[in-house]
Amino acid sequence: MSGPGENGWRAGRRAGRHGRRAADLVLALALAAGPGRGCGQGADPAAGQVVCRMPEPAEIPAPPAVAYRRCPLASKVGEFQVELAQHFTAVSGSIAEAPLPTDVREVVVESGPCRLLRRRVLDCDPACTAGMTCAEAGRCVRYPGNLDAGTVGVTGLRCQVQMHPDPVSQRYWDTNLPHPGYEPGASIGLHASGAAVPPFSLAGWGVAPLVLDQALLRLEPGQPVPIAWTPGQAGPARIQLDLVINQHGITPATLSCEVPDSGRFEVPVDLIERLLAAGTSGYPQLRVSRQTSDSADLPPGCVEFVVSSAVERSLDVAGHTPCRSDVDCPTPKRCQVVSQSCL
């Protein structure tokens, strides 16, 4: 439900904050020497204008040897993202002081490039008090706060970005980028000057917008699921596929695969069966992301840098008839209301 607020949202765009510490100054100088200007420096937030210079093609370095490195589920504490969405490009990120228990998904089964993951339902009774969160075995633990990583600069975009953490949430973000925010194939780097965490650098690559070649995708028992997309240019990007069956979190199972950007992948039958067996309910979805991912192990845990372009689609599941009562189901099936599925 919703009603209008009394006051308006500020017209949108925030320039980076600059130059607080000596180390930050070094980074700022390094960024200024690059091919673009800091978005904040040339931006007029009131007018929503961003002034920056497009790098010449010769200035775009050859694709770097970006290794595709993800964080282990149990040790991931943070992520920085360059997200090429349909209507905008955004940079954001944060690093927590510890993994958040609800973020750590259980691996039900692993097969080749695919894993079946399940969100753990952590139940604490009585509920955890303010500032705490529920962890394993019904324990309440302190909700991990975010850490200051110093000035974080992102190079290789159409506008170079440097960000300082929000003083309250220690979160980084910048929405000053033009759209699209980078050239496909651009070498993208992320550099943190360090503060509560040590300095670190991570590499990314300008992935092309993802185009899915199918309007409708169908899951059928006993059948693999072919997924087709327009392949990207040769480079370090991979495709992440997430088949999500998690109607409102009641059966939160996700089949996740990381595959080459070849234009086609068949999700194996055995995993489809396992996914369906984990419970089908509601209205499943597929998310396909072309991305690069680099990671660094820091004292609090593992941090990723992801450059991505993603598309989401509905999934049609054969034999799964969404329902709200028995009358919606073909005889002799009956509606299991809790899963909204004819069984």
Partner 1 sequence: MRSRAWIGPVATAVFLAACSEGAASNGPSGCAAAATLPLPALHVAGPPASEDFTFDGEGYLLALDSGRSLVRVARGGAPMLVAPNVVANGRGLSVLGTGDVVIADQDRSLLVRVDRAGDVRRLTTTIANPNGLTLGAGGQLFVTDFGITGDVFRVDPESGEALALARPAAGSNGLAFSPDYRVLYVGDHDAGVLYRLSLKADGRVASAERWVQGIGTPDGLAVDGCGNVYAASWDRRVYQVTPAGQVRILAELPSIVSAVAFGSGKQGWKADSLYASALQDGGVFEIDVGQPGPPPPP
Closer of 65 and 168 to partner 1 (Cβ): 168
Query: Does the protein bind partner 1 through residue 108 (CB under 8 A)?
Result: no
Contacts 24+ apart (CB under 8 A), 120-124: 121/249, 121/252
Residue 285 touching partner 1 (CB under 8 A):
yes
Name every residue whose Cβ is closer than 8 Å to that of residue 312 and which is 6 or more positions away in sequence: 285, 286, 287, 288
Interaction of residue 212 with partner 1, rule CB under 8 A: no
> Which listed range, 4-12, 189-197, 226-234, 296-304, lies at the site for partner 1 (CB under 8 A)?
4-12
Which of 59, 103, 220, 266 is close enough to bind partner 1 by CB under 8 A? 103
Binding window for partner 1 (CB under 8 A); candidates: 16-24, 89-97, 204-212, 222-230: 89-97
> Helix and strand tally (H, E) in the chain?
3, 20
Helix (H, G, I), strand (E, B) or coil at 59: helix
Q: Does 338 bind partner 1 (CB under 8 A)?
A: yes
Size of the site for partner 1 (CB under 8 A): 62
* Joined tokens for residue 257: 């695969």
Site for partner 1 in 18-37 (CB under 8 A): none
How many residues are present in the chain?
Answer: 343
Asked whether position 46 contacts partner 1 by CB under 8 A, the answer is no
Residue with tokens 């775009």: 60
When asked if residue 310 is in the footprint of partner 1 (CB under 8 A), the reply is yes
Among 75, 175, 223, 321, binds partner 1 (CB under 8 A): 175
Contact (Cβ atoms closer than 8 angstroms) between residue 271 and residue 259: no
Given candidates 25, 108, 122, 259, which one binds partner 1 under the rule CB under 8 A? 122
Residue by residue, DSSP assigns 176-228 as: ---SS-S-TT-EEEEEE--SSS--EEEEEE-PPPP-BS-S-EEE-TT--EEEE
30 DSSP assignment:
H
Which range touches partner 1 (CB under 8 A), out of 9-17, 59-67, 192-200, 216-224? 9-17
Nearest to 107 by CA among 96, 98, 119: 119
Residues that bind partner 1 (CB under 8 A): 1-10, 12, 14, 81, 83, 85-88, 90-93, 100, 102-103, 119, 121-124, 127-134, 143, 166, 168-169, 171, 173, 175, 248-250, 282-283, 285, 287, 310, 312, 314, 322, 324-325, 328, 337-338, 340
